[in-house]
Structure 1
Amino acid sequence: MEIAKYAAVCLQAISVSILGMTFLGIRSDAVPRIVQPLFLVPWYVYVVLFLILLVVVITTKEKIRQIGNAPPAPPALQRIDTISYRNVNWDILAPAQHPKESAADYARRLPGIAEIRIPPKCPKCGIELEERKAMLFGHIWQCVSCGFTKRNRDTFTTEAGRAAKVWKGKVEAGAAAAGAAAAAPLSSPPAAPAGPADKKESQ
């Protein structure tokens, strides 16, 4: 886009120069021979060309501004866990931990940023399952590799939301238990120093 912008500006400069020399009465034989063919073009053609190039410059500048203001690309997701739900395996994806972020802070925000990957995977061979509508009711989940088949009432999308709730509940419960265990030694009172009576008994 920058090249197109600069090319349009150069053509604009040439058009303005030719128009200026034409209106000043400068004849074609008074300029270098390489420029003389440009004087054969009618002046109104240069006016139209100037207006077209002006529009090109304005639109190109607007596109460059929009690209510069575009939001950054979302961080890449990576698999952080796997949960078994409805007898199939669901991968849990989340953005990678920031280098300056502690493991505890990352674990605390995982329930809010993690998501379930659809489709789930076969519990036998780990291949992604396929889903099709059953003839009577529900859906059939099938593995194209090992032939694993499972009938389920709801779709991948519905069950993925439920699997996410189960996983988040386990993670939050584990984080709460870890926090309570870490706070327990701090909350216990320090041992009282031994008094004179205790010292006599020990002797």
Structure 2
Amino acid sequence: MKEKFSYPVLAIITANILIALGGQLFKDDWTTFYSSLPTWAWVITFIGIVIIVLVFLIKPKNKIAKKNFNSGFVVHNQPILGYQNHSKLNYKNVDWLFVFPKSNSWNEDGSRINPDILETKEYPYCPNCKNIELDEKKSFLGKYVWSCIGCGFKISNKISAKEESKNALKIGKNEYIKSLNS
């Protein structure tokens, strides 16, 4: 996986530049510059570094980790006869495909199935191509970018496709129940 540029790298580069500038300003003894700084300047610098680390590094990563927590142990029962497509929903400007397990029953078309057996695909589909699943990549700022390999469509989202599919499923089930009642 390709490593991305981060704030600690920026801090190290900045510190080296400041040390080099301090050495150029006080050519005889560059340590004089740093030892001449008052204690309050060191305290403010330390507090500033701690705030930067907390705000830009720890907080966003924890927020993303909580949203996308995965235990690492996944059990998924695949139906014996596979899935049958049911409907599509446009949510967050992408299409989500709803499926249900195939069965040998009389209700093969899925017109009146139990809403509890509806599922959604983990990744959304391109709204332009209609049948190409979008790829998901994490951006530098912690967002997720969904892109289509067919037409180049791109959209970013704060939540991963796996988590967003759960929200789409809730909305899709609600829409299906409304259509059954009308």
Displacement of 1:103: 7.4
CA offset digits 1:68-118 (Å, max 9, x no partner): xxxx963310111111111001111112354435979x6141x11110012
Q: Aligned pair in 2 of structure 1 residues 153, 176: CA closer, same or farther (>3 Å)?
A: same
CA spacing shift, 1:175–1:132, aligned 2, 3 Å:
same
How much is the aligned-residue C-alpha RMSD, in angstroms?
2.4
User: For residues 62-101 of structure 1, what are the structure 2 equivalents within 5 Å?
Assistant: 74-96=80-102, 98-101=104-107
Higher relative contact order, structure no. (Cα contacts within 8 Å, ≥ 6 residues apart)? 2
Corresponding residue number in structure 2 for 1:173 = 178
Q: Which of structure 1's runs of 4+ aligned residues deviate more than 3 A?
A: 97-104
- Separation in 2, partners of 1:143, 1:119: 11
CA contact (8 A) 1:87 1:123 kept: yes
1:147 to 152, 159, 173: 152
Where does residue 136 of structure 1 map in the other structure?
Answer: 141
Q: Which residue of 2 aligns with 1:125?
A: 129
How many residue pairs were aligned? 104
One-letter identity of the residue aligned with 1:166: I
Q: Which amino acid aligns with 1:86?
A: K
Larger radius of gyration: 1
Q: Identity percentage over the alignment? A: 28
Structure 2: where are the runs of 5+ without partners? 1-77
Partner of 2:168: 163
Distance 1:150 1:115, change over 3 A: same
Counterpart CA distance in 2 for 1:77 and 1:166 is: 20
From the superposition, tell whether residues 79 and 102 of structure 1 become closer, same or farther in structure 2 (CA, over 3 Å): closer
Counterpart amino acid of residue 153 in structure 2? F
Cα deviation, 1:93-151, whole Å, max 9, x if unaligned, reads 112354435979x6141x11110012111111131110011111311111111110101
Q: TM-score, normalised by structure 2?
A: 0.51
Structure 1's 153 and 93: CA in aligned 2 closer, same or farther, altered over 3 A? Answer: same
Aligned pairs for 1:23-62 (under 5 A) are none
| Unmatched tracts of structure 1, length 5 or more | 1-71, 178-203
Give the Cα–Cα distance (whole angstroms) in 2 for the partners of residues 169 and 87 of structure 1.
18
Output the TM-score relative to the length of structure 1.
0.46
2-side partners of 1:114 and 1:73: how far apart?
Answer: 12
